[in-house]
Amino acid sequence: MVKVLIVSIIFAVLALADAQSTWENYKAKHGKHYANNTEHAKRQAIFQATHDHISQHNVRYAAGKETYEKGHNFFSDLTQEEKNSYMGIRMNQTAQVVRSGGARNWERASLPASYDLRTSPCLPAIKPSQGGCGDCYTFAATTPLEYQYCMKTGVKVVLSEQQLTDCTYASPRDGCTGGWYHDCWTYVMQAGQELIEYYPWKAATKSATCSYSSNSVRVGVSSFSYVDQCEPTIQSRVVSNGPISVAIWASNNFTSYKSGIYTDSSCPTDMKTVNHAVTIVGYGTSGSTPYWIVRNSWGSSSWGLSGYMLMQRGVNMCNIAAYAAYPTVL
CA-to-CA distance for 323 and 314, rounded, in angstroms? 15
Q: Classify domain 90-329 at the CATH superfamily level.
A: Cysteine proteinases (3.90.70.10)
Residue 130 DSSP label: -
Residues with Cβ < 8 Å from 110, sequence gap 6 or more? none
Domain boundaries, the chain: 2-66, 90-329
CA-to-CA distance for 263 and 265, rounded, in angstroms? 7
Q: Provide the 3-class DSSP secondary structure of residue 280.
A: strand
Q: Provide the 3-class DSSP secondary structure of residue 218.
A: strand
Residue 99 DSSP label: B
CA-to-CA distance for 69 and 257, rounded, in angstroms? 6
The catalytically annotated residue of 136, 150, 167, 318 is 136
Taking each continuous run of H as one helix and of E as one strand, the counts in the chain are 9, 11
The catalytically annotated residue of 253, 296, 316, 319 is 296
Local confidence pLDDT in tens for the 330 residues of the chain: 555 455 444 444 434 546 788 999 999 999 999 999 999 999 999 999 999 999 999 999 999 999 999 999 999 999 999 999 999 888 765 545 656 656 555 456 589 999 999 999 999 999 999 988 999 999 999 999 999 999 999 999 999 999 999 998 766 667 888 899 999 999 999 999 999 999 998 865 565 688 889 988 999 999 999 999 999 999 999 999 999 999 999 999 999 999 999 999 999 989 989 999 999 999 999 999 999 999 999 999 989 999 999 999 999 999 999 999 999 999
Maximal CA-CA distance, the chain: 82
CB burial of residue 235 (10 Å; 0-12, 13-18, 19+)? buried
Decide if 276 is catalytic.
Answer: yes
Decide if 136 is catalytic.
Answer: yes
Handedness of CA 12, 16, 17, 19 (dihedral sign): positive
Phi, psi (degrees; rounded to nearest 5) at 244: -115, 130
The catalytically annotated residue of 276, 316, 318, 319 is 276
Please tell me the pTM assigned to this model: 0.91
Q: Provide the 3-class DSSP secondary structure of residue 115.
A: strand
